[in-house]
Amino acid sequence: MSLLEQRYRSVLRLLPASYRAEREEEMVDAFMELSGEAPDEVNPRPRWGEIASVLSLSLRVRLGGAGASPRFVAWGEAVRLVALLGLGYQAVGSVNQLLQWGHALAFGTHVAWTGPPGSVERLVSIVSAADLCSAVAFVAIMRGHVRTAKVMAAIGVAPTLVYMLIPMILAGPLTDRPLSESATLVFTAAPVIALLLGFHSDITPRRRSWAASLWPAAAGLAVLGGTWLVVALRPYDLDWLHLWLGFGTTILVWAAGAVVVLARRSSPPWALAMTATGLLLLAVRLPLLDNLPEGASWTMVCAQCAVLWALSTALAWMGARGLPGASGTSALTSEVGERSG
């Protein structure tokens, strides 16, 4: 065996063992044919483009691409579900922000936020409120337009990530920053990363109905209406109730969904996706315990964290048990596509 062939085989170790067992010889022969005669004396190495192509193939196979084993098909569907759930949350936030801005502008409240008429601050607030890129990304991926969804999701999340990253970097090493900042950063970026990686070239996304695609608009209106109702009732003696608004509402909705997934014994991808999103919610909520004095609010946050941890653990156990075996190829790979949800 020549030195170049040895190095090609080393590069192919990036691929899953089940895939490599079927395709390794074929791929090595193809690489060697393209490379031509390369004596060991010249110390030949695989080209960077070839290494990148193997790395890309490895990622696609591990996320349910063509030739993937049933286990990797399930993991790929779970990653795509995380993208859908996360983008849905971000879309609700975008709609909620737009509705709040419209209300503040119409009734002249929160001038510090909207800015005086004709001012630069008003222009900035308009641009900020009109940023519905995350909502557009969600609708696009639900309708099967992958490229549009990826571009809009990246644009939508970029200002938030920059806004969080710059202060963290300027303030010192990231390891010295509060856990809440890092958790929020991961929580914001995770759905976009899942979208970019999960919806690869081997995946044909499922085209969903307009009703399913536009639910964040209704959800954003419902969340905002509930928030205004609680504020109008002014329950000053029930400060803990505010912990169920905004992010707390997301925890409540997630917990209800987790119970449904557990009760129905849903497919492993759903259980794993709900586990991942639950742990992300937990990572964002947990640091709040350090900022609250002991009392009803502190106890309520503890209860929220306990619910997130308990349901995430149960979902992880159910998802792990339901995963197919690691060996063999999937009979579904001829139909590889987005079947989540």
- Residues 97, 194, single domain; the answer is yes
Residue 288 lies in a domain: yes
Radius of gyration of the chain (CA): 24
Q: Would you say residue 341 lies in a domain?
A: no
Quote the number of domains for the chain: 3
**53 and 73 in a common domain:** no
> pLDDT tier at 340 (50, 70, 90 boundaries)?
very low
Q: Is 225 part of a structural domain of the chain?
A: no
Instruction: Using the 3D structure, point to which of 180, 213, 246 is the last residue of a domain.
Output: 213
CA distance 215 to 340: 17
333 occurs within a structural domain: no
Mean pLDDT within 200-207: 90
Residues 110, 43: one domain?
no
What percent of the chain clears pLDDT 90, i.e. is strictly above it?
Answer: 47
- The pLDDT of residue 178 is 67
Q: Tell me, what's the pLDDT at 237?
A: 59
246 shares its domain with 319: yes
DSSP H stretches of helix in the chain:
3-11, 17-35, 48-62, 70-107, 111-114, 120-129, 133-142, 146-170, 179-198, 210-213, 215-233, 247-264, 268-285, 296-322
Average pLDDT over residues 189-217: 91
Q: What is the pLDDT of residue 334?
A: 39
**Among 45, 61, 77, residue at a domain's last position:** 61
What single string gives the DSSP state of each residue in 147-170? HHHHHHHHHHHHHHHHHHHHHHHH
Output the CA angle 196-198-204, nearest 5 degrees.
Answer: 105
Residue 49: pLDDT band (50, 70, 90) is very high
pLDDT of 330 higher than 60: no
Is the model's pLDDT at 81 over the cut of 90? yes
Alpha carbon 285 to chain centroid distance? 17
In this structure, the answer to whether residues 40 and 138 fall within a common structural domain is no
For the record, the structure tokens of 110 come out as 């929160």
Do 41 and 163 fall into the same domain? Answer: no
Residue at 313 is within a domain = yes
In terms of domains, do 151 and 282 share one? Answer: no
pLDDT at 114: 61
CB neighbourhood size of 134 (10 A): 27
Q: Are residues 48 and 76 in the same domain?
A: no
When mean pLDDT is compared across 80-94, 216-230, 282-296, the lowest value belongs to: 216-230
**For tokens 């979902």, what's the residue?**
315
Residue 336, domain member (yes or no): no
State the average pLDDT over residues 258-265.
Answer: 95
Do 115 and 242 meet the contact criterion of CB atoms below 8 Å apart?
A: no
Spatial distance between the Cα atoms of 50 and 35, rounded to a whole number of angstroms: 11
pLDDT grade for 169, boundaries at 50, 70 and 90: low
**Residues 76, 337: Cα–Cα separation, whole Å:** 10
Q: Identify whether residues 166 and 49 lie together within a single domain.
A: no
Within a domain: residue 130? yes
Q: What pLDDT sits at residue 327?
A: 52
56 and 72 share one domain: no
With respect to residue 339, please indicate whether it lies within any of the assigned structural domains.
no
Pair 89, 174 in one domain:
yes
Q: Do 184 and 264 sit in the same domain of this protein?
A: no
- Residue ranges making up the domain that contains 40: 3-61
Mean pLDDT of the residues in the chain? 83
Q: How many CB atoms lie within 10 A of CB 21?
A: 12
CA 266 to chain CA centroid, Å, is 20
